[in-house]
Amino acid sequence: MTLVFLLGLVAAVAWKLYQLAKAPQDKPLRSVTLCLVCAALSYPLAMPGGASGFETVAGHGAAKLAQNVLLLATVYFLMCFYLYSAADERVGRRRARQEGALVVLVAAVIIGAAVTVPHEVFVGSFATTDMTIPQAAVFYLVAGLYLMYALATTARWTRRYARMSAKPHSTGLWAAGTGMSAMAVACAIRAVIVAIRWGGGSVSSALMSAVALLLVVSILLFVFGITYPGVRTRISSCRLWFQHRRAHRRLEPLWTLITEAFPHFVLPTDSLSRRARWRARGVHRRYHRRLVECRDGLVQISPYLSTAGFDDSAEDLAQRLRDAVHAHKGASTESIPVRPLAIPRQRSREADLQELLALSDALRLSS
């Protein structure tokens, strides 16, 4: 599960870096990208293997310090996304600078606390650290309070955007906002725990486990919220891709017959640039091109169709279409007007497609 989450995070970072390369001046996108980069860098430091490997190079306790600084940067850039997305860009920039000064101050405090004690103090986890050491208590308390503040603020902004959004974005925003609110509550509880342990008190292991579980659940809920709209959109895109691919194949008998009579209807790609040729080979473009070519071909072949009524079955029309193609060869259509063909009563693109697919299926079955 941990590895899957890390791979998903890395994939999200790669996708955002690709988007940022195409729009480097987009400040909200830049903030989201930096947020994900910091999260992706901090996550391995929370894993035992990653922490031990980092501390082998940087010394004991360095992984804990680096992880917390990266977490501070993560929530700061998350706040910047909302600040740069605000309607008043000038106010958003000023607020982002103010928040930046605050996060730098918080980072300086926890770095100062970490470097003034032996490295072994931060080797263990939050539950095992001796909070009676003032620097250790300050380290966890200051970082936790800032995380609580930033997460509560962004959760409030997220819920505000959720009220103004439509599904599936509103669903994702509500889930992300709830996850951030739960994380803020967990940080607040941890701050109280630090204060109690700093004063020499003890906290039950059950409470510590409950807070840890709340953090895990809230993080998963937050990740679900920020990925849900994209996943839904991607699923819809994949479904549309398969529909167009299937329709493109089903139209092949009709398209083959039409292009036999009108080969010049096929769009040439030799003169296109390499990038344009590559895009022209996409499923959606090939589907739409084949649909248009079939539709235009039927209009052009209509003068050669028999005068039977247009309410005949697809099988009857398929046979008359074959006869019309044979009649077209070697003939001239200059004095013969074209007439509409296979236009459904609903006059919609989808209904038109279904008529063409039925005709193409009839051609395939009668071949």
Q: What is the identity of the amino acid at 178?
A: T
pLDDT of residue 196: 93
Secondary-structure percent of the chain, ordered helix, strand, coil, rounded to 5:
80, 0, 20
pLDDT of residue 54: 60
pLDDT of residue 52: 60
Query: Domain extents for the chain?
Result: 2-241, 251-365
pLDDT of residue 344: 47
- pLDDT band per the 50, 70, 90 thresholds, residue 282: confident
How far apart (Å, rounded) are the C-alpha atoms in residues 113 and 129? 14
Query: What is the 8-class DSSP label of residue 120?
Result: G
Number of neighbours of residue 40 by Cβ within 10 angstroms: 19
Mean residue pLDDT across the chain: 82
Largest CA distance in the chain: 102
Between residues 338 and 55, which one has the greater pLDDT? 55
pLDDT of residue 60: 60
* Three-state DSSP class for residue 178: helix
- pLDDT band per the 50, 70, 90 thresholds, residue 308: low
pLDDT of residue 335: 46
